[in-house]
Amino acid sequence: MTEHDALTPAILTTGLTKRYGSTLALSNLDLAVAPGEVYGYLGPNGAGKTTTIRLLLGLHRPTAGSAHLFGLDAWADPVTAHRRVAYVAGEPFLWPSLTAAETFEFLASVHGGADTAYRSELVDRFELDTSKKIRALSKGNRQKVQLVAALATRADLLLLDEPTAGLDPLMEMVFRECVQEAKRRGQTVFLSSHILSEVEALCDRVGILRQGCLVEEGTLTQLRHLSALTVEATFEGPAPALPDLPGVHAERIGANALRFEVHGPVRPLVNALAQYPIATLTSREPSLEEIFLHHYDGTNARHDSTNEHHRG
């Protein structure tokens, strides 16, 4: 990697917008993914994840804004950009009459080469029978064919659109190992996914997309800070009535237990609790799932996150 490369984002979108007729599929997306980064792209069905990837690949044309891969315009110069990209689609659209081995050969020649030794290793790890024709493979196995073909290119950027749909848990683990290996080698990974544990385990940064808008973005730590901290306290005796504290929402969960949702600094709550006989005190950060559900579900997601930003 040259010095110039290290400075050029692997993915850079500015005001990227796509309309299909009257439907706004993607609105004003600003995204920057640095080389070597593993970026998790989360969002409910129909949020615009696949649209984003199609725009990144120059398969669909932006209504406004632009997408660049390694500084190359994704729409204007797709062929040059794709030399450094490998793509795994959410649905494996391959050629039914080719065997897996023939598919590898074809896709390698189309891509302009592949690491065949690494490919053989991947075939073993993913337990693929390469003599089988694509039409005879199950969806999960066809997905493996796509994954092996993409990983074997050792491309600088892996665009993965729900790559583990249809994989069994064992193969899911193999996939995670492969992504971690890719990361160690300095490859950039853009992982669109529904599987939160997968994103939590693999990604440096996460973006959450809802109805075509990027509603939240940051490292997992940052995202957790943006959400409430949960504190539960049990008391030696009946739970007291606490005074109202700013940014703290209290709830009685038992005769002598309280739960607090803390938005912002936790110190006022700790100071307040210190006056009472506490038996146990637990606190836990929100899981990605909670952050995710919060953004998916809440119609006032925007509003909430604006409030949260005030804490700074």
Partner 1 sequence: MANTATALRAPTVAPIRPASARTALVKRTFRDARVRTIAFAYVFAIYSWLQPAGYRKTYPTLADRIAFAHSFAGNDAIRLFYGYPYDVMTVGGYAAWRVGGTLALAAAIFGVLAAVRALRAEEEAGRTELVLAGAVSRRTAFRSAMAAIGTGTALLWLAAFLGFVVGRLPVAGSAYLALAIVAVIPPFVGIGAVMCQLAPTRRGALALSIGAVMVFWLLRVVADTWGSGAWLRWATPLGWAEELGPFTGTHAVPLLLFVAATVPLLWAAERIGATRDVGAGIFAEHDTAPPRLGLLGSPSAQALRTERGTLASWLLGVSVFAAIFGMIATSISAAGISENLQKQVAKLGTGSIFTPIGYLSFVFIVFILAVCLFVCGQVAAARTAESDQQLETLLAHPVSRTRWLAGRYVIALLGAAVLSLLAGLLTWAGAASQGVHISLPRMLEAGANCLPVAILFLGIAGLAYAVVPRASAAISYVLVTASFLWYIVGALLGLPRWLVDATPFVHVGLVPVQAFRTTDAIVMAAAGLVAAGASLAVFRRRDLLGS
| Residues forming the site for partner 1 (CB under 8 A) | 54, 57-61, 78-80, 82-83, 85-87, 89, 91, 93-97, 99, 101-102, 105-107, 109-112, 129-133, 135-136, 146, 159
Going from the C-alpha of 303 to that of each of 21, 170, 210, 270, 297, the distances in angstroms are 29, 40, 14, 27, 13
The candidate with the shortest Cα–Cα distance to 150, out of 118, 172, 176, is 118
- CA angle, corner 298, sides to 294 and 299, nearest 5? 155
Smallest gap, in angstroms, from Cβ of residue 244 to partner 1? 42
Task: Select 56 or 223, whichever has its Cβ closest to partner 1.
Answer: 56
Please state the closest distance from residue 83 (CB atom) to partner 1, in A.
5
To partner 1, the closest distance from the beta carbon of 99 in angstroms equals: 5
Nearest approach, Cβ of residue 224 and partner 1 (Å): 34
Instruction: In angstroms, give the least distance from the CB of 167 to partner 1.
Output: 18
CB of 162 to partner 1, least distance (A): 15
Strands 229-235 and 278-284, sheet pairing: antiparallel
- Smallest distance, Å, CB 185 to partner 1? 20
Residue 86 or 122: which CB sits closer to partner 1?
86
CA 234, 235, 236, 240 torsion: positive or negative?
Answer: negative
Distances (CA, A) of 144 to 98, 175, 264, 284, 293: 15, 9, 44, 37, 29
Considering the complex, state which of residue 129 and residue 289 has its C-beta at the smaller distance from partner 1: 129
Q: Which residues contact 51 (CB under 8 A, 6 or more apart)?
A: 18, 25, 26, 60, 212
Beta bridge partners of 261: 230, 249
Between 68 and 205, CB nearer to partner 1: 68
Kindly write down the DSSP assignment for every residue of 54-118, as one continuous string: HHHTTSS--SEEEEEETTEETTTSHHHHHTTEEEE-SS----TTSBHHHHHHHHHHHHT---HHH
Nearer to partner 1, 139 or 311 (CB): 139
If the CB atoms of residues 146 and 227 are measured against partner 1, the closer one turns out to be: 146
